[in-house]
Amino acid sequence: MPTLDELAAEVAALRRRADTTEAVLEIQALKARYGDLVDQRFSSGGVVDHAALERIADQVAALFTVDGVWDGGPGLGRVRGRPAIADRLRAPTLTFSRHLFMKPRIEVDGDRARGRWDLLSPCRRWDGSSYWMCGFEDDEYLRVDGLWLHEAMTLTTVFMSPVGEGWTKILA
């Protein structure tokens, strides 16, 4: 029969596991919300109206810490802070995208976490050309007042391939 100290230690270990599991689920929901919001900037006809774009950009920025970093790489730029993130998202470089995040790898350490997500995204440029973007995002998260937020998000593009061409030529 376990002692009270052993039972207390087991309960504490179970609480840590439950907290980690809940954190992973909350971070996955955060990333899904991010993807949903950035994709809402587009309708079938292109970019949504200015008022909707303003609202969506502010909602996306609120998913980051006050001094959070959004880094889209050399092609999309890097900004720091909620106002700068919102400004960046008010100026879409595309007329359509759909963020398909896959294979989450999330490591939680107390109120901090790191994650890597594979990303596949069909995109349409302003000139009407369509392409596939494949890459991954490395994220850092911080739990603030019980809420998980992006502290930093960094996109690395693996390839961008015109839809009609496919990616085999690019990877050859």
Domain range summary for the chain, segments of one domain joined by +: 4-171
So what's the pLDDT on residue 154? 98
Q: Could you tell me if 32 and 26 are in contact, meaning their C-beta atoms sit under 8 angstroms apart?
A: no
Share of the chain above pLDDT 90, in %: 80
In this predicted structure, the answer to whether residue 48 has a pLDDT above a threshold of 70 is yes
Q: Is residue 37 classed exposed, middle or buried when 0-12, 13-18 and 19+ CB atoms within 10 A define those classes? A: buried
pLDDT at residue 75 in the model = 87
Distance, first Cα to last Cα, the chain: 64
Estimate the share of the chain in helix, then strand, then coil, as percent rounded to the nearest 5.
Answer: 35, 40, 25
Q: What pLDDT, on a 0 to 100 scale, did the predictor assign at position 9?
A: 74
CA angle 145, 148, 150 (to 5 degrees): 120
User: What is the fold, at CATH topology level, of the domain defined by 4-171?
Assistant: Nuclear Transport Factor 2; Chain: A, (3.10.450)
Q: How many residues does the chain have?
A: 172
pLDDT of residue 34: 98
Helices and strands, counts by H and E, the chain: 4, 9
User: With bands split at pLDDT 50, 70 and 90, how would you rate the model's confidence at 164?
Assistant: confident
Average pLDDT, the chain: 93
Of residues 4 and 83, more confidence is placed in 83
**CB under 8 Å to 159, separation ≥6 — which residues?**
132, 133, 134, 135, 167, 170, 171
Question: What type of residue is 135?
Answer: G
Percent of the chain with pLDDT over 70: 99
Rounded CA separation 62/150 (Å): 9
115 class by beta-carbon count within 10 Å (0-12 exposed, 13-18 middle, 19+ buried): buried
Q: Which secondary-structure segment (H or E) carries 5?
A: helix 4-39
pLDDT, residue 10, reads 83
The pLDDT value given to residue 172: 62
State the pLDDT confidence band at 45, using cuts at 50, 70 and 90: confident
pLDDT of residue 18: 85
What mean pLDDT is predicted for residues 11-33?
91
pLDDT digits (tens, 9 = 90+) for 88-129: 999 999 999 999 999 999 999 999 999 999 999 999 999 999
- For residue 1, pLDDT beyond 90: no
